[in-house]
């Protein structure tokens, strides 16, 4: 999934969640004074929206887990294939983090 797809998916998810909230609020208002068939119709609509949103969330979670696994496997493979480069990169990052922390502490 590329960045654009992630943004579109995020936007669609937010729209779906907002729709569920709006329908739930409407349902609550309507059920306060009206009973019978209208309540059943609203309840069905809210349940359908909620199911669709939950399914979309599950898909997004599955995709995120798969990406994390693939990244971890690629990192593991790289470290096993090139251990000294991995050590060098880790040391370099450690030095940069140490310098950044030192600079922040000196500013106080």
Q: What would the pLDDT profile of 29-79 be if each residue is shown by its tens digit?
A: 777 666 678 777 877 787 788 778 778 877 877 888 888 899 999 999 988
Q: Is pLDDT larger for residue 8 or for residue 86?
A: 86
Answer yes or no: is 102 within a domain.
Answer: no
- Number of domains comprising the chain: 1
Answer yes or no: is 105 within a domain.
Answer: no
Q: How large is the C-alpha radius of gyration of the chain?
A: 25
Question: Does residue 17 have a pLDDT over 90?
Answer: no
Answer yes or no: is 62 within a domain.
Answer: yes
CA-based torsion, 39, 41, 45, 48: positive or negative: positive
Answer yes or no: is 106 within a domain.
Answer: no
Answer yes or no: is 100 within a domain.
Answer: no
Q: List all residues 6 or more positions away from 45 whose beta carbon is below 8 Å from its beta carbon.
A: 23, 27
Answer yes or no: is 94 within a domain.
Answer: no
Give the 3-state secondary structure of residue 98. helix
How high does pLDDT run on average in the chain?
81
Buried b (16+ CB within 10 A) or exposed e, 59-83: ebeeeeeeeeeeeeeeeeeeeeeee
CA distance 13 to 18: 9
CB neighbours (10 Å) of residue 46?
20
Question: Does residue 81 have a pLDDT over 90?
Answer: yes
Question: Does residue 87 have a pLDDT over 80?
Answer: yes
């Amino acid at each position: 999934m590329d960045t654009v797809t992630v943004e579109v998916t995020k936007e669609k998810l937010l729209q779906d969640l907002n729709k569920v909230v709006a329908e739930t609020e409407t349902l609550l208002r309507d059920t306060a004074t009206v009973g019978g068939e209208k309540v059943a119709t609203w309840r069905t609509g809210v349940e359908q929206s909620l199911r669709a949103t939950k399914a979309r969330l599950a898909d997004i979670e599955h995709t995120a887990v798969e990406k994390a696994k693939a990244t971890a496997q690629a990192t593991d493979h790289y470290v096993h294939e090139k251990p000294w480069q991995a050590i060098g990169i880790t040391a370099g990052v450690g030095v940069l983090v140490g310098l950044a922390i030192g600079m922040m502490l000196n500013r106080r």
